[in-house]
Structure formats: structure tokens, C-alpha cells
Amino acid sequence: MRIGELARAAGITGRLLRHYEAQGLIQSRRLPNGYRDYAPDTVGKVRWVRELLDCGFSTRQIQGFMHCYAQEQAEAGQCEAGLLQHRAKLQELDALLAVLGERRARLAERMAQLFLPSAF
């Protein structure tokens, strides 16, 4: 699969695919004409990377457990590096949600004081 085909199938740009490849998240082989050729399963890998990025992981973090993708079918739940990273990300997101909840409460209180004063 050439880079344009993969980009269309995965819904991203060729430039982003080259970036993922430079980061070691996906691989290609070179055809005799120098074009990149990707395996059909690369579409799934790219979608997996996009999902993890959307969850807040960095490409460096994903690189640390990308090998888990290859194990996904054969050894689901057996990738310690990935499990630890996911647990840490969940804790990070839980902490962020708590902070955001506090900020929202303060903002709502301030809004009520400034714009909805109680009648005297």
C-alpha cells in the first residue's frame, strides 16, 4: 500500500504518516522506485496510534509500548509496559478531571455572584 492510499484509508496526511514512521510507530519498505510501501495492517496501527494520541499519550510514550500492538491478538492483556502506561494515564486524567471540576465550581460561583446577585 502506497503512502497516499494509507493516508486516505487512515484519514490522515502523508506528512503525518512520515512523522509516525520517523518516530518508529509504523514501518514501510522501499520499492525499487524509492516509494514507501506499507503492509495492509498499517491502517489499524495508525488508527490505534491516533486513538492513543487522542487519549493524551505522546508519540514517545506510545513508542514505549508499540510492541503491544503486535501482541494484541495473541496475548491480549499480557503487555506489562502498555498496562502500566495506561494505568498512569488514567490516574493523570482522573487528577485533571478533579482539578477541572474544582475550577468549574469556582467559575459557576463567581458567575452567580457577579451576574445573578440574589435579591435583597
Residue pLDDT, tens place only, 40-78: 999 999 999 999 999 999 999 999 888 887 765 445 566
Domains by residue range for the chain, with CATH: 3-115 (1.10.1660.10)
pLDDT of residue 23: 95
Per-residue pLDDT, averaged over 19-47, amounts to: 95
Q: Whole-number mean pLDDT of the chain?
A: 90
pTM value is: 0.76
Residue bearing the bigger pLDDT, 117 or 18: 18
Q: What count of Cα atoms within 13 Å lies in the side-chain half-sphere of residue 106?
A: 6
In Å, how far are 21, 84, 90, 92, 100 from 97, measured between CA atoms? 33, 20, 10, 9, 5
For the chain, give the percent of residues with pLDDT over 70. Answer: 89
